[in-house]
Structure 1
Amino acid sequence: MSYGPALMTLSLIALIFTIPPLAWNIKCSNIPAISLISWLFLMNLNTFISAAIWLGKNYSSTYSGRGYCDIISKLQVGVNVGICSCVGAIALDLYLILNAKSSLLLNTKKRRIIEACMCWITPIVIMAIIYVVQDARFLVFRYSGCQYSLAPNWVSVLILSIPMVLWSLTSFVLALMTIIKFFQIRKDVKDILHCTNSGLNLTRFARLLLFCFLVVCVMCPLSLYFLVIAMNSIDGGFDFSDIHDSLLWGIILFKDLGSPKYDRWLHITLAYLTFIIFGLGEDSVKLYQRVARRI
């Protein structure tokens, strides 16, 4: 079975689906949502490109990936923790809105700085230091394309696995706190949204909250599962010189796993979920109508 055409089609649809929610959230200046959807756009764009390039049986002779994969493999180590941190920032923002007396909510500049820091500091730090545990420049898989490769040691777990677990658990707690608070004051939520000038009505708020909860319900178990896998895979201690062998670094390894990696399907699914929740609302429909009239 060739997964290439299916992966290309689904990822292309996912790309198209991310555009309306991205446009709507840019209009609303929602930094966490913009950041999250941007991650999904980049990863689905990579999925489409990779499936198109490394498709056939002779995939290993098409393109070595040098240059392109150097960039993509760095983005890949930041994407999942980036998704979790963005969801955490969205959930925190919703929680602060429900706590209408919060001074942070009133200070738009400070709130946006905190949101940007929550969304981007951890992924950027991970992408900056991941070289420490890279045991190969990158790998190239059939269908999936570029993939980072890390040495199986405790430093890899500390740099990549632990932050993802911490952010997914933080996001889960924040989303749960927001849901509890929402039901505690559900009769007053509509008035609070109006008084705080949040730019949200009850429907928009509920969509954002549902989105947060669904994403953390996916990312939390995944992050814990892969932490366990990473812990069980630890083989020996950390030795920088052994990991970074100059003779082996330039060798690009090609692998055919028989099917695309799980995260390609994950990012496609999250893009569809994003469109269903953000792209089918009343505001999005009005946006489509305005665009259609201009065309």
Structure 2
Amino acid sequence: MHREFPPIAFLAALLLLLPLPWHWRARNVATLSMILWLFVINVVYGVDAIIWGNNVNIVIPVWCDITSKIIIGANFALPSACLCVCIHLERVASVRQAQTTHSDKRRRQIFEAIMCFGLPILFMGLHYIVQGHRFDIIEEYGCRPTTYVSIPAVFLIWVPPLLLATLSLGFAAAAFVHFMRRRITFARHLESSRNGLTTTRYFRLMLMAVVEMVWNILVTSYTLWFSMLGARPWTNWDDVHSNFSRIDLYATAFTPQIVITNYYVVWWVVPASTFIFVAFFAFGKDAVDEYKACFVWFRRTVLRQTVSDSTAGSFGSIPVAK
């Protein structure tokens, strides 16, 4: 039994709350969606590890119906969010738009909401096309979506995230080219564009997106390779969805070691992605200033202590990360 799974999953979920306040104030839909999706999946992983830590009992099938679809959606949500971040950074660094107006920001928020929530929900529905049966229950890991591995599944489940990740890297490269062309005046250009971005925040966002996408490409490629080892020919709709209400159970004692190892590797993808995200946003200067400002507020409001303006000012104002 992997007793470390629940605390790691719940710790990862809690760490995501650290950068949440300033992203919420900035109304940055892409990064907020990353926080939300990663938070939900970490909680799902933690709950599943507790319930099915040493059994494969069918105890809460409705939970499995819901969470298995959410897992499918999350596979598309992270690369979609990173693509939105890279598109925004490329647009800011270019000279196509001198300043960002309120209507521009509103349109960007709508586009990012569609990409980060609408697109994953769409593929959650399309997954039914290659869903061979209801879901699987894996000992120590819990409920997982099932996919009838075939050529249609490749293009529905694995190719879109790879395409989104590749596009993200392309926009990140274009943004870097813009920076190299005007690197001397880049900070002044960011200030004049009124996007609330400093050079440090700009490159933190870009590096986060690039690292997440390289990580996503490696993981998706690995899961595609491993899944194709058991690929089957697509016959017809009735055959693929025959006995659809079936729930397959995988006890550790009767599962090949290579499959167990694959489950273990794939399980770590979500916590690792979370730690990467938190590393870029929870320990920078913006985050430290936020923690200090919250500490001052706590002393003044809760502890009723007197904090001089000079002391509070030394902590800096709370910046808006975008």
For 2:49, the equivalent position in structure 1 comes to: 51
Among 142, 147, 150, the alignment partner of 2:147 is: 150
For 1:138, the equivalent position in structure 2 comes to: 135
2-side partners of 1:141 and 1:8: how far apart? 15
State TM-score, norm by structure 1: 0.90
Q: Tell me: CA distance 1:190–1:165, structure 2 relative to 1, closer, same or farther (3 Å).
A: same
- Unmatched 5+ stretches in structure 2: 303-322
Q: CA RMSD in A?
A: 2.1
Aligned ranges 1:16-55 → 2 under 5 Å: 16-55=14-53
Q: Tell me: CA distance 1:194–1:8, structure 2 relative to 1, closer, same or farther (3 Å).
A: same
Among 190, 195, 198, the alignment partner of 2:195 is: 198
Q: Tell me: CA distance 1:263–1:102, structure 2 relative to 1, closer, same or farther (3 Å).
A: farther
Cα shift at 1:40: 0.8
For 2:307, the equivalent position in structure 1 comes to: none
2-side partners of 1:146 and 1:24: how far apart? 34
SS in 1 for 2:268: helix
For 1:249, the equivalent position in structure 2 comes to: 245
For 1:288, the equivalent position in structure 2 comes to: 291
Identify which range, 36-45 or 119-128, moves more after superposition: 119-128
Contact preservation (8 Å) 2:135, 2:144 = yes
Return the index of the structure with the highest Cα Rg.
2
2-side partners of 1:251 and 1:212: how far apart? 37
Among 178, 183, 189, the alignment partner of 1:181 is: 178
Aligned ranges 1:1-295 → 2 under 5 Å: 2-3=1-2, 5-56=3-54, 59-61=55-57, 63-102=58-97, 105-106=100-101, 107-230=104-227, 233-246=230-243, 249-256=245-252, 258=260, 260-292=263-295, 293-294=297-298, 295=302
SS in 1 for 2:56: helix
1-side partners of 2:30 and 2:189: how far apart? 21
For these two proteins, the number of residue pairs brought into alignment is 289
Contact preservation (8 Å) 1:31, 1:112 = yes
Letter in 2 for 1:13: L
* Cα deviation digits, residues 65-94 of structure 1 (max 9, x gap): 401110110011121221111101001101
Contact preservation (8 Å) 1:50, 1:144 = yes
Letter in 2 for 1:266: V
Letter in 1 for 2:171: L
2-side partners of 1:36 and 1:80: how far apart? 11
2-side partners of 1:191 and 1:103: how far apart? 12
Letter in 1 for 2:153: S
Cα shift at 1:273: 1.5
Higher relative contact order (CA 8 A, sep 6+): 1
Contact preservation (8 Å) 1:15, 1:41 = yes
SS in 2 for 1:20: coil
Contact preservation (8 Å) 2:136, 2:247 = no
2-side partners of 1:104 and 1:154: how far apart? 46
2-side partners of 1:83 and 1:104: how far apart? 28
2-side partners of 1:178 and 1:46: how far apart? 35
Contact preservation (8 Å) 1:153, 1:238 = no
Contact preservation (8 Å) 2:86, 2:172 = yes
1-side partners of 2:250 and 2:228: how far apart? 25
